[in-house]
Amino acid sequence: MRVTKAISDNKEYNSFWSRLVSLTRKEIRQLLRERSNLAVGIGLPILMILIFGYGLSLDVKDAPIAVVLEDPSPMAADVVAGLELSAYISPIMMTSMHEAQRLMLAREVDGIVQIPSDFSRRLAAGNAQIQLLVHGSEASRATIVRNYINGALSQWALRQADRGTKGSAAAGTITVAERMWFNAANTSTWYLVPGLIVLIMTLVGAFLTAMVMAREWERGTLEALFVSPVRPTEILLAKIIPYFMIGMLGLGMCLLAARFLFEVPMYGSLLILLVSSMLYLLVALGIGLVISSVTKNQFLACQLALISSFMPAMMLSGFLFDLRNVPTVIRLVGHALPATYFMELIRTLFLAGNVWPLIFKNCAILTGYAVLLLGLARYVTRKKLD
């Protein structure tokens, strides 16, 4: 009896492994046939580790700083010499405070160090003052840049102390008067909330549209429409209008939350913000329509929408990391994304105001992307059955 039971258990054991091996082979063959699964399982981890490990950095290097040297004395030049010797700062010497402020508004410099015209006289009297202005729209970067500048300026005091030990007369003290532009509270919320609006609009526009259109392809609804007198342009417009309205409704809720829930100030024009948001929403809708028309599959459309729109908008548009601190290749990829320009535009409107050169440039680029992507969506959505 025991021998018969042992033989039966052994047969069942062998059958189990035989079935398991057969099913595993079947799943492996199916996995190899589904290239999209391989892309997610192998390609996506490689892409993410390369982006996070190599392309993104929290460090600040070669921060451009405008140095307004209104006092041409050797003592003033000796004070700012620490900025020129710093490995983390790239000083831009100038004599006009107005020009330095223009560069700050255009985000061409991260800060301004002003040496007033009476610097040497006040230093000889015992106490001189240097004005430090830092662009505070990115709270973490502003704090790092401010520390770098203070550290570089403090080198002058160390050199003076070293000279004093050798018999030289010690000079007076220097006070740095600091001021944070565009983010007086120096809070990251003011920096992150406008960026979150970009991500939300990307998700609503590209991801949701791609999924819905792909579902229509799978169910055969679009094929049924293609045999009717309805034109492809009319079909696309009918798909765009509802999700455009949803996207603008989501934008309205985000703006209300930013103003009343997170207390983020908005110094720019609300009308310009709405117009630029409409342009970017059309861009996101165009991305979703192109993806769904090419793939015609919900699962693949979902993957492509995440990889080509939402993830790049989160990681490579300047939402979390400053693109000026990444390698050239990653920077070029970031500047090829429409989200990068809307990110810069919406943060400028919220925190800096109506900086017209940036507004014109970014709106023109978003308009070009919208025309290109919507035209491409119309081209790939042909009224014929494969």
pLDDT tens, per residue, the chain with 386 residues:
555 656 666 666 567 677 667 666 765 676 667 665 556 556 655 665 565 555 555 567 788 999 998 888 888 888 888 788 777 888 999 888 989 988 888 888 989 999 988 888 888 887 888 889 988 777 677 888 888 888 888 777 777 666 654 434 445 677 787 877 776 666 677 878 888 889 888 888 888 788 777 777 777 777 676 666 767 777 778 778 888 888 888 888 888 888 888 888 888 999 999 999 999 999 999 998 888 888 877 878 888 888 888 888 888 888 877 777 777 888 888 899 999 999 999 998 998 889 899 999 999 999 999 999 999 988 887 655 45
**pLDDT of 49:** 57
The burial of 92, by beta-carbon neighbours within 10 Å (0-12 exposed, 13-18 middle, 19 or more buried), is given as middle
Tell me how far apart the alpha carbons of residues 8 and 49 are, in angstroms, rounded to a whole number.
Answer: 50
**pLDDT of 164:** 57
Tokens linked to 4: 């018969």
Tell me how far apart the alpha carbons of residues 144 and 57 are, in angstroms, rounded to a whole number.
Answer: 13
Q: Which amino acid is residue 282, in one-letter code?
A: L
Q: What is the pTM of this model?
A: 0.71
Which residue intervals of 91-171 are DSSP H helices? 97-105, 119-125, 139-165
Q: Which domains does the chain have, with CATH numbers?
A: 63-181 (3.40.1710.10), 188-380 (no CATH)
**pLDDT of 167:** 38
Neighbours of 38 (CB within 10 A): 13
| Contact in structure between 343 and 318 (CB atoms under 8 Å) | yes
Q: Strand 111-115 and strand 127-135: pairing? A: antiparallel
**pLDDT of 192:** 81
Q: Which amino acid is residue 348, in one-letter code?
A: T
Residue 94: in which H helix or E strand, if any? Answer: strand 89-94
